A and B are shown apart, each in its own frame.
Chain A
Amino acid sequence: MRRAPGSRIVRYGLAVVLVGLALLLSELVHSIIPHSVDYLFLAAIVASGWLGGRGPGLLAAGVAPLVLDYFFLPPLHTLGISPEAGPEVLPFLLSALAAAWVSSMRSTARETRARLERSEEKFRRILTNQPDVAWTGDENGRMIYISPKVADWTGYTSQEIYAGGSPFLLSRVHPDDLSRVLEATQALFSQGASLDEEFRFQRKDDTWIWLHNRAMGPWQENGVTIADGVICDVSRRKWSELELQAKTAFLEAQANSTIDGILVVDAAGRRILQNRRFNEIFAIPAALASGPDDEPVLRHVTQRTKDPASFVNRVRELYSHPEETSRDEIELRDGTILDRYSSPVTAAEGQYYGRIWSFRDMTERRHHEDTLRQLSAAVEQSPVSVVIADTHGDIRYTNRKFTECTGYTLEEVRGKNPRILNSGYSPPHMYETLWATILAGKEWRGEFRNRKKNGELYWESAVLSPIVDANGSITHFLAVKEDITERRALEGDLRQAQKLEGIGQLAAGIAHEINTPTQFVTDNLTFLRESCEAALGLLELYRKAVREDSERFSADAIRDLTEAERVCDLEFIGAEVPRAITQSLEGVRRIAKIVRAVKEFSHPDLAEKAEADLNQGITSTITIAHNEWKYVADLTTDFDEALPRVLCYPGDVNQVVLNLIVNAAHAIRQKLKGTGKGQIVVRTRTCGPFAEIAVSDTGTGIPPEIRTRIFEPFFTTKEVGAGTGQGLALAHSVVVKKHQGKIWCETEMGAGTTFFIHLPIGSACGAEKNRC
């Protein structure tokens, strides 16, 4: 029961009111009941003391006589006491005081009880409301008191616990913790050692909680040894502690299982943790590693480095700049290369806890990197083109040679399909085979005719193969390619040369076969011509004789002769036989000339430079090529008869001239398409230190867009099969490379083309100088 504030005033007020009431009542009943006044006032005093306690009682006792005195003068008269009878007032006063005292006694006792109750209530509230459970128990574990809060935790009410008897709570302690708890409890009661134990406790619902029990004791109460304690639920803390332990274990395990050497230092730079790897890397002796001192460890580590000074400086610098992160590379004396990484450990609020150092052994990786770099340099600078494409066939990498060869940079072709190089000359089925082969994981080899960025065609020999990963699945395709245009051109040259040589050998063989009959046919014809001349002359003499001396012969004979002459047409014979012989001789001469021309053209015997009569060589060549031009053009020559002999490879030069004549004939045929004949003119002249050969035609001319490309190998405008595209390339190679000469053309569309060749005249002595 709480007193309201201001209750003191109420209580004293009550006393005044009671006295007042007593006054009023006494006024009312005064006339009816004499002497009631005193009793009423006494009653008021007693009531005040009773209700208000000692203070109001005394107040009432003090006030009442004064009031009486005032209203009922003499108030004591009412009691039959006259004012003179002063001594009579004293008993009233005393009785009033006594009444007030006695009545207030009751009030005080009640108040004390209330106060006690209030105190008890307060403690009860504290015990009930505070999170911990207070208890008092005896040495057997029986609970004498336990806060009702215990029900919240354990599910058991105090009453259940009380009823459960001494072993109740202990029976719910986890068996693993029980002995420990019992021991501690025993120590508490027997030795007075304060108890402080944490243990697992099984709740009523069979779940486990962690309890922390602290107790003091023992002492005696009512002959029983007891102890007081407080139990609190520390499950949350305990579980997080365990979790932390597990986490820490994991972290430590992680630190130890990483390949990096890790060192953790606190804000002052003291070692907190270092993993095994760290010890391994720096070869820190076990004693040193587990030792408490930092300094020897640092010294050891420092000595292992190649450049201790800078190592230490860096460490110092970082310790003085806690916020900084650093990454660098250090080298140890044994050649080990370490990647050193250091970062601060800070809380979310930015508080600096320390620093983590990690050291990764980069030696092998660096070695791999070096190897890789060397290999990639080798690939990059390889003399062959290297292309790597992904499984879609899109280009991922090309090396420098590729750019050199095709004109495309890596940036231009990355992500593109290699078909950008496709010239359309390689048959589609080749690509089908190619893909089938490499998708089957095999290597494909072949030759492409591709197109460069500038449109130029080139030949390349390629080896394509898949790149597989560890699982054997294809990740990329690799192409290694080589530009073989020149080689093919050389092969072409070689084939041409071999062809020429073959022609030359054949010509030599045929020449012998033809020359022998030519010899006797010529001889016979010569003989016939002379004999015929002589015989015809003789015949004429006979005829003359017969004519002049006709009378000597019989008429029959003359008639027979005339008839025979008519039948055989002697006149015709006389005119035509010598002509026939002469023409036959001419024919044989022509055969001999062709045979000689073939032999001279191919010059199988001359593998070296020799002084040659260009005019003669060209004449032979024209003879050889006769069939090429005779139906489409008339060929005229305009030779410089004073042209000096030229030091050259006569067979090659003849071949060049042949190619030019054949080209000229083709150009004319293309223009005229079988209607009429064009003109081919072959000229020679001396031009300073050069001999010039010019072959002009009245053909189509060369379109401007291909003029720069006509000397490229395999470049041809002729339909497939008509030309190899080698003719002018060969001419260029022979004139420029073999003879250090020049070849060019002047051309006009529709009017014709003239090819010019300049060959250095040189000489045996000149050649000497050139070689030196």
Chain B
Amino acid sequence: MLKRLLFVDDDALVLAGLRRALHDMRQEWDMHFAPGAYAALQALEKERFDAVITDMRMPSMDGALLLDCIKDRYPQVVRIILSGQSEKEAVLRSIAPAHQYLAKPCDIRELKLRLNQAFASRDLVTNPAIAAAIARLRSIPSLPAIYNELTVALRSETASLGQIEQIIARDIGMASKILQLANSAFIGVHGRVSSLRQAVSLIGIETVRTLTLSIHVFSQFDRKSAVASSLPALWDHSVCVASVAQRIAVDETGDKSLAEECFAAGLLHDAGKIILLAEKPKEYGEVLKNAEGCARSIEALEIEALGCSHAQLGAYLMSMWGLPISLVHAVAFHHRPSEAIEARFSPLTAVHCADALSIASGDALEAGDIPLDAGYLDSLGLSEKVDAWRSYIDEFRLSQAESSATACN
């Protein structure tokens, strides 16, 4: 089935150029061109589209506004901004409704790559209701306590970048959003950003402050939600997996930036669960209840009940947001690494091991036993390391307990 794309730009020459440059994609993509926001909305009314690629600055209705409308009316549409603008304020304003932000002049190959990535993971989620819910999602909700901590820190004059980074590194919602922003073209960095530390540093404390306190890019869980009580455990698990994955990567490769990537991947690996808890608390609550004591894997149960697993869901969002493919892979395949086509040590490897070991050692909220993929580890020659890595889990828990004890004191 042809993907239907809608390009919106007030400059006809840009549209003509795109039409010509993407001419070779005509076998896969059915491309339409709208000279303005209203024309785009009319087109969307008549026909279904898979993606909208719009200019930012347009007369009467700009790209951000257009995408906002599309988000509400046609949530499943992939929303991408392709703008020549580089004023920070305008860029920040467009961040929320857009899945991705690309800067003009954008290499046509980069554009193709991004679109293909978004489409590829989109196919993972077959349940249209869930797909729509995810596509509409501005951000993954944060844990209220951490969200508070961040706002307090940002309001203080003395907040440092390191402090902010440490807070963000404990929350899946904020971490994912920050990575999305860092991978937006407006930052002016070439190449994808997969390290949280780098992302925070690139964005800068002022921008984080603006984003958090003025634009409200982060959201938080409703404290009264039925699932609220189970959330902290999930967060603890995510941080544990992130830390241990990072340690494994350091052990295995000594590559610091890869280790940071592993941390981010570990933190985000269960993002799908959070989305489900937030968007479909009732249904997913049932799934979780059923999973307890059930021999089948939680993934199977999720697919049966919702049409997709939390891993697929998470990966879908990550790829729509333009996060590096290695992170998307780690999230998507963290239960079944063998299915990924990678045959070397990657964030997926670290996250899979850390997750499996963590669950084996009794982390909550993960019904059923997630076995280590022995074949996968064998193929990478890492089987013998597992015992050593297992101890990392305990050591992490110990250090957490200590630091919380210190905090209490």
Chain A interfacial positions (CB closer than 8 Å to B) = 508, 511-524, 526-528, 530-531, 588, 592, 596, 599-600, 605-611, 616, 645, 647, 763-769, 771
Q: Which of B199-207, B301-309, B328-336 contacts A (4 or more CB under 8 A)?
A: B199-207
A768/B17 contact (C-beta < 8 A), A523-B108, A606-B204 known:
no
Task: Provide the B158-192 mask, 1 if CB < 8 A to any CB of A, else 0.
Answer: 10111101000000000000000000000010100
Taking CB atoms, residues of chain B closer than 8 Å to A645 are 198, 201
Contact check, A512 vs B84: say whether CB atoms are below 8 A apart: yes
State the CA gap A130–B18 with chains docked (Å).
Answer: 153
Contact check, B201 vs A519: say whether CB atoms are below 8 A apart: no
State the CA gap A630–B137 with chains docked (Å).
Answer: 51
Task: Provide the B65-97 mask, 1 if CB < 8 A to any CB of A, else 0.
Answer: 000000000000000001011111000000000
Contact check, B86 vs A610: say whether CB atoms are below 8 A apart: no
Given A524-B16, A592-B105: 12 more A-B contacts, CB < 8 Å: A514-B84, A516-B11, A520-B14, A523-B17, A523-B21, A524-B20, A608-B161, A609-B161, A611-B201, A645-B201, A763-B162, A767-B160
Taking CB atoms, residues of chain A closer than 8 Å to B280 are none
Chain A nearest CB from B207 CB (Å) reads 8
A771 contact from B11, B85, B105, B158, Cβ within 8 A: B158
Contact check, B202 vs A610: say whether CB atoms are below 8 A apart: yes
Contact check, A520 vs B108: say whether CB atoms are below 8 A apart: no
Instruction: Using CB atoms, name the residue of chain B closest to A517.
Output: B13
A608/B21 contact (C-beta < 8 A), A512-B57, A520-B16, A771-B160 known:
no
Whether B23 sits at the interface, judged by CB under 8 Å, is: yes
Instruction: Using CB atoms, name the residue of chain B closest to A504.
Output: B86
A512/B18 contact (C-beta < 8 A), A764-B200, A768-B161 known:
no
Taking CB atoms, residues of chain A closer than 8 Å to B84 are 511-516, 518-519
Taking CB atoms, residues of chain B closer than 8 Å to A607 are 206
B17 contact from A513, A527, A608, Cβ within 8 A: A527
Contact check, A520 vs B87: say whether CB atoms are below 8 A apart: no
> Sorted from nearest, which 6 A-B pairs have the closest CB atoms?
A520-B17, A523-B17, A768-B162, A527-B20, A515-B84, A523-B21
A-B contact list, 26 entries, CB within 8 Å = A511-B84, A512-B84, A515-B86, A516-B104, A519-B82, A519-B84, A520-B14, A520-B17, A521-B17, A523-B18, A524-B21, A526-B21, A526-B108, A530-B24, A588-B105, A596-B188, A599-B86, A599-B188, A600-B188, A608-B204, A610-B201, A611-B198, A645-B198, A645-B201, A766-B162, A767-B162
Whether B250 sits at the interface, judged by CB under 8 Å, is: no
Contact check, A512 vs B85: say whether CB atoms are below 8 A apart: yes
Chain B nearest CB from A605 CB (Å) reads 5
Task: Provide the B32-60 mask, 1 if CB < 8 A to any CB of A, else 0.
Answer: 00000000000000000000000001000
Taking CB atoms, residues of chain A closer than 8 Å to B57 are 512
Whether B99 sits at the interface, judged by CB under 8 Å, is: no
Whether B106 sits at the interface, judged by CB under 8 Å, is: yes
A763 contact from B23, B87, B197, Cβ within 8 A: B197
Instruction: Using CB atoms, name the residue of chain A closest to B11.
Output: A516
Which residues of chain B (102-146) have a CB below 8 Å from chain A?
103-108
Chain A nearest CB from B95 CB (Å) reads 14
Contact check, B165 vs A764: say whether CB atoms are below 8 A apart: yes
Instruction: Using CB atoms, name the residue of chain B closest to A595.
Output: B105
Contact check, B206 vs A518: say whether CB atoms are below 8 A apart: no
Taking CB atoms, residues of chain B closer than 8 Å to A528 are 20
Taking CB atoms, residues of chain A closer than 8 Å to B88 are 605
Instruction: Using CB atoms, name the residue of chain B closest to A528.
Output: B20
Instruction: Using CB atoms, name the residue of chain B closest to A522.
Output: B105
State the CA gap A531–B188 with chains docked (Å).
Answer: 31
Chain A nearest CB from B113 CB (Å) reads 15
Taking CB atoms, residues of chain A closer than 8 Å to B107 are 522
Taking CB atoms, residues of chain A closer than 8 Å to B161 are 608-609, 764, 767-768
State the CA gap A765–B163 with chains docked (Å).
Answer: 8
Instruction: Using CB atoms, name the residue of chain B closest to A508.
Output: B86
Chain B nearest CB from A476 CB (Å) reads 50
Contact check, A515 vs B105: say whether CB atoms are below 8 A apart: yes
State the CA gap A50–B204 with chains docked (Å).
Answer: 165
Instruction: Using CB atoms, name the residue of chain A closest to B161.
Output: A764
Contact check, A527 vs B23: say whether CB atoms are below 8 A apart: yes
State the CA gap A531–B20 with chains docked (Å).
Answer: 9
A764 contact from B108, B162, B207, Cβ within 8 A: B162
State the CA gap A503–B107 with chains docked (Å).
Answer: 26
Chain A nearest CB from B201 CB (Å) reads 4
Chain B nearest CB from A313 CB (Å) reads 68
Instruction: Using CB atoms, name the residue of chain A closest to B106.
Output: A519
Chain B nearest CB from A414 CB (Å) reads 51
Taking CB atoms, residues of chain B closer than 8 Å to A524 are 16-17, 20-21
Chain A nearest CB from B103 CB (Å) reads 7
Contact check, B21 vs A512: say whether CB atoms are below 8 A apart: no
Taking CB atoms, residues of chain A closer than 8 Å to B87 are 508, 512
Chain B nearest CB from A697 CB (Å) reads 29
Taking CB atoms, residues of chain A closer than 8 Å to B204 are 605-606, 608, 610
B104 contact from A508, A515, A609, Cβ within 8 A: A515
Chain A nearest CB from B88 CB (Å) reads 5
Chain A nearest CB from B96 CB (Å) reads 18
Taking CB atoms, residues of chain B closer than 8 Å to A599 are 86, 188
Instruction: Using CB atoms, name the residue of chain A closest to B15.
Output: A520
B21 contact from A527, A605, A609, A764, Cβ within 8 A: A527
State the CA gap A508–B57 with chains docked (Å).
Answer: 14
State the CA gap A611–B203 with chains docked (Å).
Answer: 9
Instruction: Using CB atoms, name the residue of chain B closest to A596.
Output: B188
Most buried by A among B23, B104, B108: B104
Taking CB atoms, residues of chain B closer than 8 Å to A610 are 201-202, 204
Taking CB atoms, residues of chain B closer than 8 Å to A768 are 160-163
Contact check, A522 vs B17: say whether CB atoms are below 8 A apart: yes
